[in-house]
Structure 1
Amino acid sequence: MTLNDWFAKGTTAEVYIENMSQHKDNLQHVYEQFNLPDDARLEGAGTSPRVIVLTEDWCGDAMINVPILLHIAEKMNMDVSMLLRDSNLELMDQYLTNGKSRSIPIFIFIDENGNEVAKWGPRAPEVQAKVEALFSKLPAKDAPDYEDKWKETLSSLTQMFREDENVWGEVYESIMKTLVK
């Protein structure tokens, strides 16, 4: 299938969000609280590409990245097509992180002819560093408190993604750098 075919196969962001069963409240919170900065790049990007979003509602990274992308897309008049990763592995496997991981979300920006013009995801580099720092504090997997510490770390990560406006800004900047290359 071509990227145009994949784009046509997807659903709207509204339908995706309506059907979410996990992280819906968190995604909507980020969407409602995040404000686009006054940024000339949003006005002068020239073309209005389309974007295919590979995602799943259980993904914490999608919870923060998707609403920020949606604000950018609205401002730039960009059409968005949402595809669930687990139902679209043929496309996902073309966008593996480090050539091996099905990490999401992945944003595939395409022009009107269906040519890929940029790809972003699954995390902004600055956010990746914060995530790695959080997980580096975990005990060994065979430690008796590992499971509890794992749950605490995921809770901290979700809270950071939901509330930290600096993290939101890092995501925004990373996406914009990809779009205006």
Structure 2
Amino acid sequence: MTLLNWFDKGLTIEEYSNGMQVNQKEMNTIYDRFELHSSELEQLEGLKSKNYKVIALTEDWCGDAMVNNPILLKIAEACNFDVRFLLRDQNLELMDQYLTNGTSRAIPIYIFLDNEGKEKAVWGPRADKIQQLVQSLRSELPEADAPEFKEQQMAMYKKLTTAFQEDESLWHEVAVSIINKLTTTNN
């Protein structure tokens, strides 16, 4: 299957959002609150004529997707990109072509295509600064076999999810990361 075939198979944002069972409210809240800065919009100016199609490999239970997807949508709106969502677990054939570090089915993964279906950029699953935050929080956890590990891991996830929902500076880290990927690989 070509990337354009995968794109055509994807769900619109309405279809994806209506089917969400886990983070719909949280994703929509971020979408409603997030606005691109004028400097971010300026960086996107040169991409408006590209009319990219975007495949978003995602799942609604994913905290990273909860924060990244609405930011991708705002970028797509600013650039006239068409976004389609594919659920990772139902599309492993495509997902396995975009493994993180060659081994992990980490999501979301965004595949930007030109009108002919040629891959122009791939982004995901996290902005570098978000990855650093996650690694820092993980480094504070006890060993995995420690009795308190599960409880502290759940507390870490809760702290991270709250930050994803409330810390607007994290949203802009994601936006800048996606924009930088698009503008540095754009040809």
Counterpart of 2:175 (choices 154, 172, 176) is 172
Alignment of 1:111 with 2:120, yes or no, is no
Could you tell me which amino acid in structure 2 is paired with residue 171 of structure 1? V
Deviation at 1:106, TM superposition (A): 0.2
> What are the residue-to-residue correspondences of 1:23-172 with 2, within 5 Å?
23-38=23-38, 39-45=41-47, 46-172=49-175
Deviation at 1:72, TM superposition (A): 0.6
TM-score (norm 2): 0.95
TM-score (norm 1): 0.98
Measure, in 2, the Cα distance between the counterparts of 1:86 and 1:31: 24
Secondary structure at the aligned position of 1:15 is classed as helix
Instruction: Looking at secondary structure, tell me which structure has more helix per residue.
Output: 2
Deviation at 1:43, TM superposition (A): 2.2
Secondary structure at the aligned position of 1:57 is classed as coil
Could you tell me which amino acid in structure 1 is paired with residue 44 of structure 2? L
Percent same amino acid at aligned positions? 51
- Considering only aligned residues, what root-mean-square deviation do their CA atoms show, in Å? 0.8
Deviation at 1:62, TM superposition (A): 0.1
> What are structure 1's unaligned runs of at least 5 residues?
none
Deviation at 1:179, TM superposition (A): 1.0
Deviation at 1:25, TM superposition (A): 1.3
> What are structure 2's unaligned runs of at least 5 residues?
none
Measure, in 2, the Cα distance between the counterparts of 1:70 and 1:14: 12
Deviation at 1:107, TM superposition (A): 0.1
Equivalenced residue count is: 181
Secondary structure at the aligned position of 1:128 is classed as helix
Measure, in 2, the Cα distance between the counterparts of 1:62 and 1:69: 10
Alignment of 1:15 with 2:18, yes or no, is no
